Amino acid sequence: MDRPTHYLIRVKGHLDESWADWFEGLSISNLEGGEAVIAGSLPDQAALHGVLNQISNLGVELLSVEAIPEKG
C-alpha cells in the first residue's frame, strides 16, 4: 500500500509558478544558479510518474528526485 511521500524534484532552468497546476499542485521555487525545485506530497508512485512525464513533455532537464517519506 502506497503512502503519501514528499518529493523534492530539481530541474535545470527556472519555471513560472503558474506551472504548479500542471504539476499536480506542487510548489515551484526558483533557485540561484538557474535551477528550480518542484516540491510537495504525492499520493503514490503513479502520481510521481505523472509529474516526471510532465517534466519530460516540457523538455526540461531533470537533475534529481529526492523522496522524503511522510510520518503517519
DSSP structure class, residue 9: E
Q: Measure the CA angle with vertex 56, ends 43 and 27; round to 5°.
A: 45
Cell of 48: 510521481
C-alpha dihedral sign at 63, 39, 27, 49: positive
pLDDT of residue 1 exceeding 60, the answer is no
What is the H or E stretch that residue 58 is in?
helix 45-58
Confidence category of residue 72, pLDDT binned at 50, 70, 90:
low
Query: Domain total for the chain?
Result: 1
Question: 38 or 19, which is more confident?
Answer: 38
Q: Which CATH number covers residue 47?
A: 3.30.70
- What are the φ/ψ torsions at residue 18 (nearest 5 degrees)? -65, -15
Q: What is the pLDDT of residues 24-41, one digit of tens each?
A: 789 999 999 999 999 999
Range of the domain at 20: 5-69
